[in-house]
Structure formats: structure tokens, C-alpha cells
């Protein structure tokens, strides 16, 4: 994780994304969430809109990686995403991408979904690292990718993996990569799948067959990463 986020940009929020919903919600209260807190699928309240060339390259790479991992019978991997918010006031409030209007917002989307709770108000700790590097690093796939983060909103009481778009955007820089690629679908994972399937929706748990895992992972990732029209 440390190597993946070796960038001159300050990482303000980080997410570990699998495409499953069971157990994929942070257990920390919002007051304790910091820039170093790793959030999960049900905490995510953004859709990332990338330029066409970046998006096409991203999709191609995810497909190649997932095909390889599926062939090797690997599952339980994640896409680790780091977000740098480019526009903020000196007090740490985020500014909309389309207007210099500050927003005092919650960092995650797992609670009461109102228009006042969509994006983070960065703490003093989050701002210790300069928001802008002395030299702008060059972008390459997975590192320092410019994008727009569109705020999403979940319906109250529903464990939606992806909320509904709101039309509210923030300019961001993304750092991402697939991690945890050593877990094969061995007997322990098969037993975990069988046991949890009696208690929960089998499609919502992490331990599933590599083919199903790959399809679910791609379906989710290609919903939260889209081409910027």
C-alpha cells in the first residue's frame, strides 16, 4: 500500500474495493476517519469520470489483469484507490469543480444521505502534506490520473454498492492498482463460501469462485469508473 501511494500528491481518501457488499463498510465513526483510514465498497460515494484515452486504457488493463487472475484461480483481490482532491480552501473545505463554492461534507456515503454529506472536509492532519507538489508529476496509468469525482447518493436503508449520480463534481487526481493477488480458491475459501452462503446472500460475500469473482469485480469497477462525456 505504501509503494502504491508513493506519489507527490497528498492522498486525502483511500478505498479498498472488491465489488462485494457483506462486511464492506468501515467500522469507524466519521469523527475518527482520517486520510490514512482505508475505506471500503459501501463507504464509497463517488463515480470517477476519466478522459476517454485513460478510461479505455484502464478498462483494457483491468480486463487483462482479471483474465490472468481468473486463469490462475486467484480471488479476493481488491482495487486500492487513493484520491487527491485538487481544489480546497485554506480551511480544508472542498470546492466544487464547476464553481468556487465551498462544501462542508462528510468523507463517506454510508450514513444519512442528504446534500450536506457528500464529500470530505479535510482535517488539519489531512492537510499536513501540501495539496500541490512542487513539481507536477507526469501521469501514467494507475498513477496521478486526472479525473472528475461525481458525488453519488444511496437510498436510505439500502446496501447499494453504487449510489445514484447527483451531478455534483470535484476535480481529483487518482492513484490505483490491484492488490492482494496471492489468495487462490483453496479448500479453506470453498468452506468459507459454503458456510457463509447459508447465512448471507451468496453473491454478496467475498469468498466466491474465481470466475464469479472476476465477473463481479469487473462489473463493479466499470460502474464506478466511467468515461467523462
Mean pLDDT of the 46-59 span: 95
Beta-strand runs (E) in 157-197: 164-179
Task: Please enumerate in sequence order all residues whose Cβ is within 8 A of that of 99, keeping only pairs 6 or more positions apart, or say none.
Answer: none
With CA atoms as reference, report the closest residue to 79 among 11, 150, 14. 14
More confident residue, 145 or 121: 145
pLDDT band at 6 (very low <50, low <70, confident <90, very high): confident
pLDDT (tens digit per residue) in 131-188: 445 445 678 888 889 999 999 998 875 567 898 999 999 999 999 999 999 888 888 8
pLDDT at 199: 82
DSSP H or E stretch at residue 194: helix 187-199
> pTM of the predicted model, to two decimals?
0.79
pLDDT (tens digit per residue) in 190-207: 888 888 888 888 778 888
- What burial letters (b/e) apply to 163-196, b meaning 16+ CB within 10 Å? beeeebbbbbbbbbbbeeeebebeeebeebbeeb
Handedness of CA 21, 23, 24, 26 (dihedral sign): positive
CATH number of 13-227: 3.30.810.10
Cα distance between residue 97 and residue 178, in whole Å: 28
Please answer whether residues 116 and 104 qualify as being in contact, where contact means their C-beta atoms are separated by less than 8 angstroms: yes
Amino acid at each position: 500500500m505504501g509503494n502504491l501511494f508513493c506519489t507527490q500528491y497528498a492522498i486525502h481518501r483511500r478505498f479498498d474495493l472488491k465489488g462485494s457488499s457483506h462486511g464492506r463498510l468501515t467500522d469507524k465513526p466519521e469523527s475518527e476517519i482520517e486520510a490514512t483510514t482505508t475505506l471500503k465498497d459501501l463507504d464509497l460515494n463517488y463515480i470517477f469520470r476519466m478522459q476517454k484515452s485513460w478510461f479505455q486504457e484502464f478498462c483494457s488493463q483491468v480486463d487483462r489483469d482479471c483474465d490472468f487472475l481468473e486463469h490462475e484461480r486467484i480471488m479476493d483481490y481488491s482495487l486500492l484507490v487513493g484520491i487527491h482532491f485538487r481544489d480546497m480552501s485554506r480551511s480544508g473545505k472542498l470546492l466544487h469543480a464547476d464553481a468556487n463554492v465551498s462544501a462542508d461534507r462528510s468523507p463517506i456515503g454510508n450514513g444519512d444521505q442528504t446534500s450536506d454529506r457528500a464529500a470530505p472536509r479535510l482535517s488539519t492532519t489531512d492537510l499536513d502534506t501540501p495539496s500541490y507538489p512542487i513539481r507536477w508529476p507526469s501521469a501514467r496509468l494507475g498513477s496521478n490520473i486526472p479525473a472528475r469525482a461525481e458525488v453519488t447518493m444511496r437510498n436510505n436503508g439500502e446496501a447499494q454498492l453504487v449510489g445514484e449520480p447527483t451531478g455534483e463534481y470535484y476535480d481529483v487526481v487518482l492513484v490505483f492498482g490491484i492488490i492482494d493477488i496471492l489468495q487462490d480458491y483453496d479448500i479453506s475459501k470453498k468452506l468459507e463460501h459454503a458456510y457463509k452462503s447459508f447465512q448471507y446472500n451468496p453473491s454478496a460475500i467475498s469468498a466466491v469462485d474465481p470466475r464469479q469473482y472476476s465477473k463481479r469485480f469487473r462489473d463493479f469497477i466499470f460502474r464506478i469508473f466511467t468515461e467523462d462525456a
